[in-house]
Amino acid sequence: MSRSPQVLAARSSSAPLYAAGFVTAFGAHSIAAGMGAQSENIGLTLLNLGILLALYDLAEVFLKPVFGALSDRIGTKPVIVGGLLAFAVLSLVGLWGADPLMLGLARLGQGAAASAFSPASSAMVARLARGRNAGTYFGRYGSWKSLGYVIGPMLGAGLIFVGGFPLLFAALSVLAAVAAVWVFVSVPHLEPLPRQRYTVLDLAGQVTERRFLIPTLVLAASTAALGAAIGFLPALAMRHGLDALAGTAAVSVLAVASLLTQPRIGKMRDSGRIGDAQSMTSGLLLTASGIALLALAPGPVTIYLAAAAIGTGVGVATPIGFAHLADTTPPERMGRTMGSAELGRELGDAGGPLVVGGIATLIGLPAGLGALAVLVALAGVPRLTRGGPGAPKGVPRRT
Count the neighbouring beta carbons within 10 Å of the beta carbon of residue 394: 7
Question: Is the pLDDT assigned to residue 393 strictly greater than 50?
Answer: no
pLDDT at 398: 42
- Amino acid identity of 193? L
CATH number of 9-185: 1.20.1250.20
Confidence of residue 354 (pLDDT cuts 50, 70, 90): confident
- How far apart CA 229 and CA 39 sit, in angstroms, is 21
**Nearest one of 89, 133, 70, 386 to 263, comparing CA atoms:** 133
For residue 96, give the DSSP letter.
Answer: G
pLDDT at 98: 67
- Residues 191-234 have pLDDT tens digits of 876 655 555 555 555 666 788 889 999 999 999 998 888 778 87
- How far apart CA 93 and CA 78 sit, in angstroms, is 23
- CATH topology match: 9-185 vs 206-390: yes
Angle 212-306-249 from CA coordinates, rounded to 5°: 105
Architecture of the domain whose range is 206-390: Up-down Bundle (1.20)
- Residues 155-192 have pLDDT tens digits of 887 888 888 888 989 999 999 999 999 999 998 888 87
- How far apart CA 350 and CA 286 sit, in angstroms, is 21
**Nearest one of 312, 277, 283 to 383, comparing CA atoms:** 277
**Nearest one of 236, 176, 190, 266 to 368, comparing CA atoms:** 236
pLDDT at 266: 93
For residue 333, give the DSSP letter.
Answer: G
| Domain ranges, ordered by start, for the chain | 9-185, 206-390
pLDDT at 396: 43
- Residues 70-122 have pLDDT tens digits of 888 888 999 999 999 999 999 999 888 667 788 888 888 998 999 998 888 88
